[in-house]
């Protein structure tokens, strides 16, 4: 092979002829289609998450302005999270201990579901996997065989997350995959308002400008209908190229200005209201969320360092507001703190999440009730998707189409996961009779049919909830397979009862070696909140 040609030493002027400096500047300016300003309408967790992530990604090369009004309250129901939030914070370079301390946070190993199939029944949805597979056949099929032989040991007893949660213990997972202490994952509980405040400080340090004010009018550009500017009370005009709608249920931009329709999913998710109140913190806060089914909905319990968050999600078709408040107050673990807050919502999503030059995040994009703590995650994934498909001023329509395609799919798969909790139960109150009999999406029915037929878990790569999550809830909601994996019958030499018992013993021993949840927090991330 011949040698590569020597690089040319001629510059642009030698190739193209003389170029004047002013002409070069004009060419660069004409071809520079970078965004010149990003405007975020609305604060709270969604707004400040967007501000922090965009400031980190643009590195000061695009002005970012966030408009919020102190007169408009923050919904703030998203106090429980799921494990992917760790990645969001890590990408921002946020120190975990500092963040937990600043938000009065605690750690979350999963969700305990109480009374969901019938009064007195409990199950745990752990973060992480169930134990360790013995061979190519998934562990739960051996568990199903032992259940068929008469064992009554719950599936969740084979998860490290539950072994630690049940004992009230916590530490970070180990990295060695051979050890059971690597098999669990975790997320956080935190005060949503304090999280927004923490991210505000982060964003403002990186140049984000906060403007206090209320948007009273949205100006659309003639010709293409793009948002040109928003007008605030007092007459101030704020222009931008990209607008992020974090205005909550009102959807000031995505609905008020751009008239994007909303798909109502109440026929699948009938709960449309919530009442919330804090109460005194418990002396030994547990490292998990608790969800307890009630006659017309369910109640959450979220332990923070400085208080316990409580809420009752219910259907207005089956319970009055005053009855819902009475149920909530009757089931608190301590004295109420503050006045109860009533929330009204419509479960569902926008037909478009990205319309013209506007991207909706948080409640402006849709609302899936907080049963599986997905509200903050959907903000996070929306932001990460926006960064992956980040536009210039040309706003290639393909970007919005792909953003909407993936975002819609994500919402639908999460919707199916939540519907599963409602549809698969045996309670006898009117709400639960309705959800048990209702038609469900084909995508969910397909998953249920596969599991009921042979214990198979069917998921797709883009789904948030994967095999261990579906397994925990399918079994927890008592959808029993008609048979286990055929290969288990060919494993006569595998003493699964002995192996499962040994796994449980290993998990319990590992859990006992961990510090208590309180000890861990006192040592690493104690909050200075009264």
Q: Which residues are catalytic?
A: 108
Which has the closest alpha carbon to 248: 342, 365, 374?
A: 365
Residue found by looking up tokens 């007169």 in the block:
71
DSSP state letter for 159: B
B/e letters for 472-490, b = 16+ CB within 10 Å, e = fewer, are bbbbbbebebeebbeebee
CA distance 465 to 416: 10
- Cα end-to-end span (Å), the chain: 75
CB atoms within 10 A of CB 237: 11
Asked whether 469 and 161 are in contact (CB, 8 A), the reply is no
**According to DSSP H, which parts of 262-348 are helical?**
321-330
CA distance 398 to 382: 16
Say which residues have a Cβ less than 8 Å from residue 459's Cβ, sequence separation at least 6. 447, 465, 466, 467, 470
- CA 469, 470, 471: angle at the middle one, nearest 5? 90
Q: Which two tokens stand for residue 404?
A: 């909407």
Residue found by looking up tokens 């997350």 in the block:
161
CA distance 178 to 520: 24
Given strand 242-245, what is the order of strands in its sheet?
A: 209-212, 64-68, 38-41, 242-245, 358-360, 354-355
Which has the closest alpha carbon to 37: 52, 14, 16, 58?
A: 58
Q: Which two tokens stand for residue 234?
A: 């007092």
């Amino acid at each position: 092979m011949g040698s590569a040609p020597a690089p040319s030493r001629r510059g642009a002027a030698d190739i193209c002829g003389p170029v004047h400096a002013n002409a070069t500047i004009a060419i660069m300016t004409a071809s520079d289609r970078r965004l010149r300003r990003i405007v975020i309408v609305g604060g709270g967790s969604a707004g400040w998450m967007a501000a922090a992530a965009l400031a980190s990604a643009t590195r000061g090369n695009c002005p970012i302005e966030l408009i919020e009004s102190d007169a408009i309250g923050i919904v703030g129901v998203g106090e429980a999270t799921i494990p992917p939030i760790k990645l969001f914070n890590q990408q921002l370079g946020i120190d975990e201990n500092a963040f937990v301390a600043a938000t009065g946070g605690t750690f979350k190993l999963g969700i305990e579901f109480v009374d969901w199939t019938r009064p007195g029944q409990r199950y745990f949805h752990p973060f992480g996997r169930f134990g360790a597979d013995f061979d190519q056949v998934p562990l739960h099929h051996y568990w199903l065989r032992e259940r068929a032989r008469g064992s009554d040991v719950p599936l969740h007893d084979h998860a490290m997350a539950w072994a630690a949660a049940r004992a009230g213990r916590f530490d970070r997972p180990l990295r060695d995959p051979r050890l059971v202490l690597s098999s669990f994952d975790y997320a956080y509980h935190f005060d949503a308002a304090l999280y927004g405040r923490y991210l505000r400080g982060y964003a403002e340090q990186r140049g984000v400008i906060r403007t206090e004010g209320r948007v009273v009018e949205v100006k659309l550009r003639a010709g293409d209908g793009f948002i040109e500017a928003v007008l605030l009370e007092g007459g101030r005009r704020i222009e931008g190229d990209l607008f992020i709608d974090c205005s909550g249920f009102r959807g000031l931009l995505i609905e008020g200005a751009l008239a994007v329709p909303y798909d109502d999913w109440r026929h699948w998710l009938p709960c449309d209201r919530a009442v919330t109140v804090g109460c005194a913190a418990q002396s030994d806060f547990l490292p998990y969320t608790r969800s307890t089914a009630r006659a017309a909905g369910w109640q959450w319990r979220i332990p923070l360092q400085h208080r316990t968050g409580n809420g009752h999600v219910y259907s207005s078709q089956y319970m009055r507001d005053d009855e819902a408040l009475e149920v909530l107050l009757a089931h608190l673990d301590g004295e109420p703190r503050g006045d109860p807050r009533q929330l009204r919502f419509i479960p569902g999503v926008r037909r478009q999440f990205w319309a013209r030059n506007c991207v909706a995040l948080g409640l402006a994009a849709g609302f899936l009730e907080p049963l599986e703590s997905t509200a903050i995650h959907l903000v996070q994934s929306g932001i990460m998707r926006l960064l992956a498909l980040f536009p210039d001023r040309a706003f290639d329509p393909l970007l919005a189409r792909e953003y909407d395609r993936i975002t819609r799919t994500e919402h639908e798969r999460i919707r199916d996961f939540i519907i599963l909790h409602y549809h698969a139960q045996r309670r006898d109150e009117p709400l639960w009779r309705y959800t048990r009999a209702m038609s469900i999406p084909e995508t969910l029915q397909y998953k249920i049919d596969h599991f009921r037929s042979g214990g198979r878990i069917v998921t797709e790569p883009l789904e948030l909830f994967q095999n261990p999550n579906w397994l925990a809830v399918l079994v927890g909601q008592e959808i029993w397979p008609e048979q286990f994996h055929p290969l288990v019958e060919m494993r006569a030499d595998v003493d699964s009862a002995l192996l499962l018992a040994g796994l449980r013993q290993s998990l319990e021993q590992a859990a006992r070696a961990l510090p208590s949840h309180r000890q861990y927090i006192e040592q690493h991330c104690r909050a200075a909140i009264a």
